[in-house]
A = this chain, B = another copy of it.
Amino acid sequence: MTGTLTAPDTALADLRGRIDTLDAILVHTLAERFRQTDRVGRIKAAHALPALDRDREEAQMARLERLAAEAGLDPALAREILGLIVDRVKDNHRKLSGDQ
């Protein structure tokens, strides 16, 4: 089958370049997301609001699964990844509020 497509090394190098770009977008978007959630945590701490908000969290997860399905991403994987992120946010908010 070799030769019937673009030389695989060239095609793979091109795709890997695209994947590296997408990874940079992911890293910078995640960093920005933590900057914004840190602001949320500081406002909650300043106003003695609860560090956690289960209704907001459930609405976020439901929205994320819908967006994932629309984008062609496995919603269960999207939930798993956001779960890691939200767990870290919750730890940060608890620290800011002095709950632990």
Contact = CB atoms under 8 A, between A and B. Distances in A.
Given A39-B15, A67-B24, A47 B81 contact: no
A22 B27 CA distance: 11
Interface string A50-83: 0000001000100110011001111001101110
Contacts of A39: 11, 15
Given A36-B22, A49-B8, A78 B27 contact: yes
Interface residues of A, number: 53
For A16, A19, A64, A85, the residue with the greatest tally of chain B CB atoms inside 10 Å of its CB is A19
A95 interface: no
A29 B20 contact: no
Contact of A88 (B23, B60, B77): B77
Contacts of A31: 68, 71-73
